[in-house]
């Protein structure tokens, strides 16, 4: 029996699945983070190996190489990145070199989000990125250049804007907003001037900044104009990225253009999705927004099967994804 391995390697965890060529999921495994830019190559390899071992044990298969392996990895964007992940695959004896493919995590998010169909995916979690692939197999990414210069509309971006709004309201440059008190309380500041400590002395992590997005969502639900404006600005920036991808891939005028929504920010529901739909449709009137149909790791499985020229029905995969 031939089996394939799909890998979703992120900054917080590694998730892998083993499937047969009929598309049945035989087992899955989890490991620590495998974004090697964050944890280093040695830790990345160890965490991928641990996840694969767990999946092998769950599926009851031995240590023989897989027929194909697809890696969707956070922060893998350059030939050097891909080469390093391929070396990890070789070290772990996961598959023959010509049956290993490596790409960024947006690729597997799109493959899962649209069950392998061409289209675009918008990722909006701690960070943000937009990626598309057309029917000719051409891909393009917009945004996703990291927190310092990009991550438009993400939870991190909203967290930064929440603090900017709070200090502007404190200064008197903006009208009063509940974000002022909420930010101060969340950061446990006795006085707003104490914000220097968490920001510049303790150096808040990306995850800590992103937690402030929840304050924006809560304030927007209560009708706060400043918070609603931040959401509208954020989704407009993401819509710019969607349009850039669609035009680059010559998909802007396609009546069947689909945009999959992936990431925790969209769990806020209509509060974020509705203004995002309006912003996208103002640029791409025929684009249809859909919530992700399958998880990214299942997208990795679909792409691994394609290395063997195998296309599978996504029905069983969807059932697995709902129970995952």
Taking only the tens place, the pLDDT of each residue in 171-187 is 999 999 999 999 999 99
Please tell me the predicted confidence (pLDDT) of residue 24: 92
Round to whole Å and give the CA distance between 157 and 215: 13
Q: Are residues 288 and 302 in the same domain?
A: no
DSSP label of 307: T
Q: What b-and-e string marks burial along 296-320, b requiring 16 or more CB atoms within 10 Å of the CB?
A: bbbbbbbbbbbbeebebebeebeeb
pLDDT of residue 319: 61
Residue 79 and residue 154 in one domain:
no
Say whether both 301 and 288 belong to one domain: no
Q: Is 178 helix (H, G, I), strand (E, B) or coil?
A: helix
142: which strand partners?
130
Assess whether 141 and 276 both reside in one domain: yes
Q: 227 and 97, same structural domain?
A: no
Q: In terms of residue numbers, what domain contains 128?
A: 116-292
Average pLDDT for 73-101: 95
Residue 249 has pLDDT above 90, yes or no: yes
Residues 257 and 134 in one domain: yes
Structure tokens at 34: 């495998």
Place of tokens 């707003």: 192
On the question of pLDDT at 313 being above 80, the answer is no
pLDDT surpassing 80 at residue 314? no
Whether the Cβ atoms of residue 157 and residue 128 lie closer than 8 Å to each other:
yes
Determine if residue 172 is left, alpha or beta; phi over 0 gives left, psi from -120 to 50 gives alpha, anything else beta. Answer: left
Q: Which two tokens stand for residue 51?
A: 């996840």
Residue 125 CB contacts under 8 Å (≥ 6 apart), including other chains: 154, 155, 210, 262, 263, 264, 265
Neighbours of 97 (CB within 10 A): 8
Asked if 285 and 301 sit in the same domain, the reply is: no
Q: 275 and 141 in one domain?
A: yes
- Cβ neighbours of residue 260 closer than 8 Å, sequence gap 6 or more: 109, 110, 113, 114, 119, 120, 121, 122, 290, 291, 292, 293
User: What are all long-range contacts of 204-210, with beta carbons under 8 Å and residues at least 24 apart?
Assistant: 206/126, 206/127, 206/147, 206/156, 207/126, 209/147, 209/156, 209/159, 209/160, 209/163, 210/125, 210/126, 210/154, 210/155, 210/156, 210/158, 210/159
* Mean pLDDT of the region 262-271: 96
Q: Given its phi and psi angles, is residue 234 left (phi above 0), alpha (psi -120 to 50 degrees) or beta?
A: alpha
H or E stretch including 176? none
Rounded percentage of the chain residues whose pLDDT exceeds 70: 97
Residue for token pair 């070396």: 87
pTM: 0.92
Residue 111 lies in a domain: no
Model confidence at 289, pLDDT cuts 50, 70, 90, reads very high
Domain count across the chain? 2
pLDDT of residue 47: 97
Q: Is residue 254 part of a domain?
A: yes
Looking up residue 138, the CATH number of its domain turns out to be 3.30.420.40
Is residue 110, in this structure, part of any structural domain at all?
no
Give the tokens for residue 182.
């909420």
């Amino acid at each position: 029996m031939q089996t394939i391995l799909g890998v979703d390697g992120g900054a917080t965890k590694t998730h892998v699945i083993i499937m047969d060529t009929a598309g049945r999921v035989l087992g899955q495994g989890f490991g620590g983070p495998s974004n090697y830019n964050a944890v280093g190559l040695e830790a990345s390899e160890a965490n991928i190996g641990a996840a694969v071992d767990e999946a092998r044990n769950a599926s009851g298969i031995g240590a023989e190489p897989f027929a194909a392996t697809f890696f969707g990895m956070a922060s893998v964007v350059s030939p050097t990145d891909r080469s390093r992940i391929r070396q990890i695959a070789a070290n772990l004896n996961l598959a023959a070199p010509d049956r290993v493919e490596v790409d960024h995590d947006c690729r597997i998010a799109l493959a899962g989000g649209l069950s392998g169909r061409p289209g675009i995916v918008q990722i909006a979690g701690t960070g943000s990125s937009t990626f598309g692939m057309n029917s000719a197999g051409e891909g393009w990414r917009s945004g996703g250049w990291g927190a310092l210069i990009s991550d438009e509309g993400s939870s991190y971006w909203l967290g930064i804007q929440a603090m900017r709004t709070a200090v502007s309201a404190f200064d008197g440059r903006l009208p009063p907003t509940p974000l002022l008190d909420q930010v101060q309380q969340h950061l446990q500041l006795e006085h707003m001037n104490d914000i220097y400590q968490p920001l510049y002395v303790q150096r808040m992590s990306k995850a800590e900044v992103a937690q402030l997005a929840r304050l924006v969502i809560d304030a927007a639900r209560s009708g706060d104009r400043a918070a609603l404006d931040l959401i509208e600005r954020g989704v407009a920036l993401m819509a710019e990225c969607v349009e850039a991808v669609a035009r680059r891939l010559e998909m802007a005028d396609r009546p069947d253009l689909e945009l999959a929504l992936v990431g925790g920010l969209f769990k806020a529901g209509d509060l974020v999705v509705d203004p995002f739909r309006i912003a996208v449709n103002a640029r791409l009137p025929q684009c249809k927004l859909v919530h992700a149909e399958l998880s990214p790791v299942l997208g990795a499985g679909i792409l691994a099967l394609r290395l063997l020229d195998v296309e599978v029905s996504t029905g069983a995969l969807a059932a697995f994804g709902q129970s995952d």
